[in-house]
């Protein structure tokens, strides 16, 4: 349980989105019909002195269920990874107060959470580190976190609710560097479509309770997926299927936007998996030198808006 003296949480800007995500995931977990079993999120939300409902609303319009479905989608990818690499490492970029570890823990996974210093401090306080799970205070665009990763027994990198706050150049640079540093690993991340991110940049996106999310410079399209396939040392890019939800919005309308040809660009959530080339797949000689030059030509930029 969380110490009552450690309940007060104050975050702002992009960092505050970790509270939005936690709240809506806990709302969905409380629903008797939910597929998301997340008692840790419920416990954590109840322990924090923050006006969740006044700030973020009651979770109508599918917000809570959509957050839960996104979490289930990431959980499935992590469980699939742990089936093949039971002692592997999961690096969760911009994890905030995500409680995925408690949903998927197999008793042997190693877990590294990477987040901005103010968010990392909150996480360490409310969810203290253990021998298999630790938190690193570091911007995801600061490549120093990569030196902390043990990929000897398999590696999966996740970025849930993170990369949309980077510029396209920053996101491409991060993915290319991960592909370079971690052969044979994979990255799973989500982004809204560009029609949503464009509205946030223009400050036209507001939730019913009045909460306005921070600008999201990077959104996904089919053309953007093709750009990812062209990054050096990327072996493959595919969309991850989000589970079908319940009710009209998440059970009918959202699946239609996802799977019906011609409507894919309107789906509100893209979950993407990028697989990196193994050492055996990587080119040698002149081709290898050309790939390394491509990586060096991707501008290295840092941003503090990564969660």
**Beta-strand runs (E) in the chain:** 89-93, 110-115, 133-137, 155-159, 186-191, 234-239, 270-276
- With vertex at residue 255, the alpha carbon angle to CA 252 and CA 257, rounded to the nearest 5 degrees, is 105
Unique residue bearing structure tokens 């590294």: 112
Q: What is the reported pLDDT for 261?
A: 61
208 CB neighbour count, 10 Å cutoff? 12
End-to-end CA distance of the chain: 25
- CATH architecture of the domain 68-297 equals 3-Layer(aba) Sandwich (3.40)
Condensed to tens digits (0 to 9), the pLDDT of residues 264-305 reads: 666 677 899 999 999 998 776 545 555 555 555 555 444 333
Tokens describing residue 36: 């998301």
The chain-wide mean pLDDT, for the chain, equals 87
Give phi and psi for 135, each to the nearest 5.
-120, 135
Q: Which residues contact residue 7 at a Cβ distance below 8 angstroms, ignoring those fewer than 6 apart?
A: 47, 48, 49
Condensed to tens digits (0 to 9), the pLDDT of residues 72-110 reads: 999 999 999 999 999 999 999 999 999 999 999 999 999
Q: What is the reported pLDDT for 6?
A: 46
Q: What is the reported pLDDT for 107?
A: 98
Percent of the chain with pLDDT over 70: 83
Cross-strand bridge partners of residue 193 = 220
Q: Which residues contact residue 234 at a Cβ distance below 8 angstroms, ignoring those fewer than 6 apart?
A: 175, 176, 179, 228, 274, 275, 276, 277
pLDDT category at 36 given cuts 50, 70, 90 is: very high
Q: Are strands 270-276 and 186-191 parallel, antiparallel or unpaired?
A: antiparallel
Q: What is the reported pLDDT for 22?
A: 97
Percent of the chain with pLDDT over 90: 64
Q: Are residues 75 and 33 in contact, defined by beta-carbon separation less than 8 angstroms?
A: no
Give phi and psi for 139, each to the nearest 5.
-65, 140
Q: What is the reported pLDDT for 233?
A: 97
Q: Which residues contact residue 289 at a Cβ distance below 8 angstroms, ignoring those fewer than 6 apart?
A: none
Domain ranges of the chain: 68-297
Condensed to tens digits (0 to 9), the pLDDT of residues 185-244 reads: 999 999 988 888 888 888 777 777 788 889 999 998 888 999 999 999 999 999 898 887
Q: What is the reported pLDDT for 3?
A: 47
Q: What DSSP line would sit under 215-271, residue for residue?
A: P----B-HHHHHHHHTSTTEEEEEEPPPPP-SHHIIIIIHHHHHHSTT-GGG-S-EE
Whole-angstrom Cα distance, residue 107 to residue 248? 38
Q: What is the reported pLDDT for 59?
A: 74
Whole-angstrom Cα distance, residue 307 to residue 160? 9
């Amino acid at each position: 349980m969380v110490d009552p003296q450690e309940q007060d949480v104050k975050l702002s800007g992009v960092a505050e989105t970790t509270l939005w995500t936690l709240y809506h995931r806990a709302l969905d977990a409380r629903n008797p019909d939910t597929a998301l079993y997340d008692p840790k999120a419920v416990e954590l939300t109840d322990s924090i002195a923050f006006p969740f409902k006044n700030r973020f609303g009651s979770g109508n319009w599918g917000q809570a269920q959509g957050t839960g479905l996104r979490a289930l989608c990431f959980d499935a990818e992590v469980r699939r990874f742990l089936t093949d690499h039971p002692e592997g490492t999961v690096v969760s970029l911009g994890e905030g107060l995500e409680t995925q570890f408690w949903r998927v823990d197999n008793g042997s996974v190693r877990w590294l959470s990477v987040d901005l210093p103010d968010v990392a401090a909150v996480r360490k306080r409310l969810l203290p580190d253990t021998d298999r799970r630790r938190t690193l205070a570091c911007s995801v665009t600061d490549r120093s976190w990569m030196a902390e990763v043990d990929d000897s027994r398999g590696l999966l990198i996740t970025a849930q609710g993170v990369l949309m706050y980077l510029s396209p150049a920053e996101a491409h640079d991060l993915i290319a560097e991960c592909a370079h540093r971690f052969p044979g690993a994979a990255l799973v991340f989500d982004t809204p479509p560009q029609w949503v991110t464009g509205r946030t940049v223009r400050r036209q996106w507001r939730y019913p309770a009045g909460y306005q999310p921070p600008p999201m410079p990077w959104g996904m399209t089919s053309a953007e997926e093709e750009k990812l396939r062209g990054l050096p040392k990327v072996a493959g890019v595919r969309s991850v299927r989000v589970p079908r939800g319940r009710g009209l919005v998440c059970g009918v309308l959202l699946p239609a936007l996802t799977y019906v040809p011609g409507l894919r660009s309107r789906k509100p959530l893209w979950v993407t998996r990028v697989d990196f080339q193994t050492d055996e797949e990587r080119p040698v000689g002149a081709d290898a030198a050309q790939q390394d030059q491509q990586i060096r030509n991707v501008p290295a930029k840092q941003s503090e808006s990564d969660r």
